[in-house]
Amino acid sequence: MTPTRLFEGKRVLVFGVANERSIAWGIAQAMHEHGASFIFTYAGEALEKRVRPLAEVVGADLIRCDVTNDEEVEACFEQVRAKWDGIDVLVHAIGFANREDLDGRFIDTSRAGFLLAHDVSVFSLVLLARHAAPLLAARRGNIITMSYYGSEKVVQNYNVMGVAKAALEASVRYLAADLGPDGIRVNAVSAGPIKTLAASGIRGFKTILSTVEEKTPLRRNVTQADVGNAALFLCSDLGGGVTGEIMYVDAGYNIMGL
Max CA pair span of the chain: 58
Q: Residue 162 CB, nearest distance to ligand NAD (Å)?
A: 10
Residue 199 near ligand NAD by CB under 6 A: yes
To which H or E segment does residue 144 belong? strand 142-147
In the set 42, 149, 158, 248, the catalytic residue is 158
Residue 95 binds ligand NAD, judged by CB under 6 A: yes
The reply on whether position 196 binds ligand NAD by CB under 6 A is yes
Task: Provide the residue type at 199 as one letter.
Answer: A
| Active-site residue, 158 included | yes
| CA pair distance 85, 249, nearest whole angstrom | 32
Query: How far apart are the C-alpha atoms of 70 and 82, rounded to whole Å?
Result: 18
Of the listed pieces 32-40, 66-74, 79-87, 99-107, which binds ligand NAD according to CB under 6 A?
A: 66-74
* Segment interacting with ligand NAD, rule: CB under 6 A, options 15-23, 55-63, 125-133, 173-181: 15-23
Segment near ligand NAD (CB under 6 A), from 60-68, 105-113, 130-138, 152-160?
60-68
Size of the site for ligand NAD (CB under 6 A): 28
Q: How far separated are the first and last CA of the chain, in Å rounded?
A: 46
Does 212 interact with ligand NAD (rule: CB under 6 A)?
no
Q: Cβ distance 27 to 228 under 8 Å? A: yes
**C-beta of 215: minimal distance to ligand NAD in Å?**
16
Buried-exposed string 10-46: b where 16+ CB fall within 10 A, e elsewhere: bbbbbbbbbeebbbbbbbbbbbbbeebbbbbbbbeee
Q: Is 149 a catalytic residue?
A: no
Question: Is position 54 an interface residue for ligand NAD (rule: CB under 6 A)?
Answer: no
Laid out side by side, the sheet with 246-249 consists of 61-64, 37-42, 11-15, 89-92, 142-147, 185-191, 246-249
**Which residue in 42, 148, 149, 253 is the catalytic one?**
148
Residues catalogued as catalytic:
148, 158
Note the residues at the interface with ligand NAD (CB under 6 A): 16-18, 21-24, 43, 47, 66-68, 93-96, 120-121, 146-148, 191, 193-194, 196-199
